[in-house]
Structure 1
């Protein structure tokens, strides 16, 4: 019968079910191992060994590699998750309300705070790039593209040309991120709050110069109209 020819056998359906369960279990275990890796990095530093990660996960090292192709595959999974963590941590910033100075102050404090609290993870990202994939650049790009959309909104509102929005956004993110990264390695007795205040001032000056070049003088302490909801990072 034709139906007998085209209907999958019970054995085939059973095999498909086992394959689907294995795929789901493998993805779940990969996530668990990445979380263990993040804990190991936080405790043991950016050069943490695979053996340490396996210990943190409570498995033998060979068991770890049943779920990852090799060390590079594990490192790539960690960097992807780290990028998501940064995006999640900074997502509330795109819904802030207040003056330009208030927005800058809160954003800079959040960015420097995250890097300060996750210094070992940031160093790990700096150490592990794969081919043309630079994890730190990926993180900066995610933040800068979100900031670009925010700048474009306010520049449009002020009647300005928005072509400078992207370079201004990448400039601000590069300034805050690179200065904080250097501070992590050599704080020179500068408290983070003092660093954040300095970066806040520099950020405003960069934005103020961009605004003035576009013919706009903005009081940094006047409350701005709220921006529309930003797309999820």
Structure 2
């Protein structure tokens, strides 16, 4: 079928006058150059947006972003539609970079605890480089979708990365329990990590490696190891003595 479909097309092209062929080739060349220019311009605007958000904060307006980027708001609307579109475009770039970094961090781990700790550490380190940009792409404003496709895919992929090293710990790889812990873990990692990002940079604040180790300890060992020993209740013994 392909050869039959291509046959007439080749024949038709051969009957096109040379001048018309040159015109078509010229138009095709212009289209390619325009597409390339548009994509380069779009990438430059995304990079400028990241710099602006890093400086201004995650709640910066489109007007403020455009001014900081040295262009007009209409240019941003032309390329991204609205602020939600701009957020998704920036998020696609940032989240893929984080995903690649976290995936690389898992390699070389010798056990699940080490692997999870390495991934959490990479996640916190990336987010810490610019909390403003992190919150811009992960915390939509009112009226926007609470979970974009890219963001959902990001955390789904991290869940899968955590799930794989844990299969041998549960014994039964077909158990539905296999999916519970990783999904709950992602919620804890994200919540604890974002609280850590928002906390003031005081001298006692742990660095990203220490915080990653702390979160992993909570996930694997619980909080019992950090609790003070229970104070013995002597009330029952005293009551028995009186009787």
TM > 0.5 between the two?
Answer: yes
- Retained in 2: the 8 A contact 1:144–1:173? yes
**Per the alignment, do residues 187 and 205 of structure 1 end up closer, same or farther by CA in structure 2, a change over 3 Å counting?**
farther
Q: What corresponds to 1:97 in structure 2?
A: 109
How far 1:14 moved relative to its partner? 1.2
The one of 96, 118, 127 equivalent to 1:106 is: 118
Change (3 A) 1:9 1:124: same
**Aligned-partner SS, 2:15:** helix
2:191 is the alignment partner of 1:175: no
Gaps of 5+ in 1: 207-233
Give 4+ residue runs of structure 1 displaced > 6 Å after superposition: none
Measure the CA separation in 1 of the matches of 2:133 and 2:100.
Answer: 15
The aligned length equals: 203
Match of 2:15 in 1: 4
Query: Residue 29 of structure 2 aligns with which residue?
Result: 17
Which structure carries more relative contact order (alpha carbon 8 Å, separation 6+)? 1
**Which runs of structure 2 are paired with 1:72-151 in the superposition (5 Å)?**
72-128=84-140, 130-131=144-145, 133-134=147-148, 136-151=151-166
Question: Shift in Å at residue 174 of structure 1?
Answer: 1.6
Q: 1:46 aligns with which of 49, 53, 58?
A: 58
Q: Which runs of 5+ in 2 are unaligned?
A: 1-10, 223-243
Q: Matches of residues 55-74 of structure 1 in structure 2 within 5 Å?
A: 55-74=67-86
Tell me if structure 1 keeps the 8 A contact 2:42–2:79. Answer: yes
The answer (yes or no) to whether the contact 1:112–1:177 under 8 Å persists in 2 is: no
Larger radius of gyration: 2
SS in structure 2 of the partner of residue 9 of structure 1: helix
- Report how far residue 165 of structure 1 moved: 3.1
1:159 deviates by 4.7
Alpha-carbon RMSD across the aligned residues, in angstroms, is 3.0
